[in-house]
Structure 1
Amino acid sequence: MDSTPAVLRHAVGALLKWREPAVRAVSRLIPADVLWYVDTGEPVFALTFDDGPGPETTPGLLEVLGRHAAKATFFLIGERVRAHPELVAAITAAGHEIANHLMRDERSALIPDARFRRDLAEVTELLAPYGPVKWFRPGSGVFTPRMLRSAAEQDLRAVLGTLVAANRDGPADARIAPDLAVGVRPGSIVVLHEGTPRRRGVVETTDELLGILSRRGLSAVTVSDLVTR
C-alpha cells in the first residue's frame, strides 16, 4: 500500500504534469536548431533510448516494442555498436530508427572540438550500413554552439527531449513509468536509458509506460516519423 501522504502525491503529480510544458516553453527561448518536441495534434510521441546497444537490455526492449506495436529511435554509442553489431541489425530489422550518441558514454560538451568531430563522423560511419543516420544526441544532453555547427556540417541535427526518465541504474528503474507517463502529450520526445546490466529495469519501465499511454490513446513512433506529423 502506498504510504505517501495524499497531499504530497498530489503535489508531485502536479509538478510532473507541468514539467513537459515547461521544457517546451524554455526550449523556444534557446536560439539553436535543436529538436525538443514537435507541435502536433496527432496522438503520437517519440520514444527514444540512449546508450545502447547492450545484450542485457536491447533484446528485451525489442520484444516489448514489438508486442505493443511501438516504434522507437535508438541513440547508440559507437563502442557498443562495435561490440554488438548483431543488436544494431536487430534494431533496424524490427523497423526502428538508429541515431548517433557519439563514441563513448561521456559528457560531449567536455570533448575537444577535433575529437568531437572525429567521433561524430566515426559513429555515423559505423551505423551507416544499417540505415540512414539523421540525428545525434550529445552525451548528458548538454550542447554548445560549436557542437551544433560541427553536427550540421555532417548533416546531423541535435535531438534532446521534453521528458527524461530518472534512471538510477537500479531496480527502482522498473517503477518510474507512472510518473513519467503523467507528462507525455502529443509531440513529446521521451528519453530512456539502456545499454548496461544495471539498467535492465528499463524493459519493464517501457512495457508499463507503453501500456499506460496506449490506454490514453497515445502511440510511440520514431523521431523521423514524429517530425513528419
Structure 2
Amino acid sequence: MSMDETLYCPPRQPWRWVGWLLASQLLVAVLWGWLGWHWGLPAMLLSHALFLVPVFLPNSRFYGPVLSHWPQAGNRVWLTIDDGPSADTPALLALLARHQARATFFLIGQRAAAQPALVQAIIQAGHSIGNHSDSHPQAWWWAQGPKRLAAQIGQCQQRLATLSGQPPRWYRSVVGHTNPFVAAVLRRHGLTRVGWSARGYDGVARDPAAVLARIAPDLRSGAIVLLHEGGSPGQAVAVLEGVLQLLHQRGLRADIPG
C-alpha cells in the first residue's frame, strides 16, 4: 500500500457521538438535581452547543474523520474544485493541462448526469472526481435527517459510478457542514471526507485578486486548496491561473492522492 493509500479513512465508528450525548445529558441531569437550575440550565445550553458547533466547522473530527491536510506530500499540493461540472470545466481542464497539474473535481450528481461528456473529460485528463451531494441543498444541508442525507450522497455516488466506471472514494460536505448522520452514510459507501487548509472564499468574493490574497498564506506543501467553478464568468479560471502561478513560484506542484 502506498503512502497516499493510507489517506482513505471512511468512518469506523459513525455513532460514537450517541454515547457522548447520553453521558452529557446525564451529567446535566445530575447537576440540575444537585445544584438546581442555576447550574443545570447553563450546563444544558453548553452541552447542546458542544454538539451543534462542530456541524459548522469544516475540519471538525467530532462526527467522524476528515482530511484537512495532505501528510508527507513532499512538494505536492492538492487542488480541489467544487460544484461542477459547469461551463467553466473545459477551460479549467485546458488550464490544468498547460501547467501539467492535476486536481480533484467534487461533482454534484444531477449536474454530472446532465453533462456526462464533461465527467468523461475530467477522468480522461487524469483527474479524479468526488461526491458533493446530488443536488447541493446548501441552505439546509446541516439540518438533514439520515434518510435525506443517505439519498443525497447515495444518488450522487450511483450517478458518478455509472458515468466514470467506478465509485468515487472522496466526499466533500456541502458548504463544509457535517451533521451527526453523515458518517454512517460515508461508511456505507466507503467514502473519505475531505476538508481543506486553504480557501479564498471564491463563492462569495468576486475579485480574483482578493481570493488569491486569502489563499496565498496557506499555499504550502500538503495544502488542500478549496476552489469553486460555475460562479461569475471567468472568475474560476482566473483564480486557478493565479494559484498555479503561485505554486510554480514556490516550487510546488498540483497533484492528487492515489
TM bucket normalised to smaller? 0.7 to 0.9
User: Given the two structures, how large is their TM-score scaled by the length of structure 2?
Assistant: 0.70
Higher Rg: 2
User: Given the two structures, how large is their TM-score scaled by the length of structure 1?
Assistant: 0.79
Q: Which runs of 5+ in 1 are unaligned?
A: 1-25
Specify the alignment match of 2:15 in structure 1.
none
Q: Does 1:46 align with 2:81?
A: no
Q: How far apart are the structure 1 equivalents of 2:113 and 2:79?
A: 24
Q: How far apart are the structure 2 equivalents of 1:104 and 1:71?
A: 25
* Deviation of the 1:68 alpha carbon: 0.5
Q: Does 1:124 align with 2:166?
A: no
User: Against the structure 1 CA distance between its residues 156 and 32, is the aligned structure 2 distance closer, same or farther, given a 3 Å change threshold?
Assistant: same
Q: Does 1:217 align with 2:248?
A: no
Q: Does 1:67 align with 2:98?
A: yes
* Deviation of the 1:39 alpha carbon: 2.1
Runs of 4+ with >6 A deviation? none
123-132 or 158-167, larger mean C-alpha shift: 123-132
- Whichever residue aligns with residue 113 of structure 1, its letter is P
Q: Give the number of equivalent residue pairs.
A: 197
Question: Could you give the per-residue CA deviations for residues 42-100 of structure 1, whole angstroms, max 9, x where no partner exists?
Answer: 01110000100002x11111011000100000000011112211111110010000000
Q: How far apart are the structure 1 equivalents of 2:61 and 2:171?
A: 21
Q: What aligned pairs does 1:1-229 form with structure 2 within 5 A after superposition?
A: 30=62, 32-40=64-72, 42-55=74-87, 57-107=88-138, 108-129=141-162, 130-132=164-166, 133-168=168-203, 171-173=206-208, 175-196=210-231, 198=232, 200-222=234-256, 224-225=257-258
| Secondary structure in 2 matching 1:186 | coil
Q: How far apart are the structure 1 equivalents of 2:203 and 2:112?
A: 23
Question: Could you give the per-residue CA deviations for residues 158-209 of structure 1, whole angstroms, max 9, x where no partner exists?
Answer: 111111221145641365224412211111100001134x253011110111
Q: How far apart are the structure 1 equivalents of 2:61 and 2:156?
A: 30
Q: How far apart are the structure 2 equivalents of 1:71 and 1:151?
A: 25
User: Against the structure 1 CA distance between its residues 28 and 75, is the aligned structure 2 distance closer, same or farther, given a 3 Å change threshold?
Assistant: closer
Q: How far apart are the structure 2 equivalents of 1:44 and 1:168?
A: 24
1:47–1:73 contact (8 Å) kept in structure 2: yes
* Deviation of the 1:150 alpha carbon: 1.5
Specify the alignment match of 2:24 in structure 1.
none
| Secondary structure in 2 matching 1:34 | coil
Q: Which runs of 5+ in 2 are unaligned?
A: 1-57
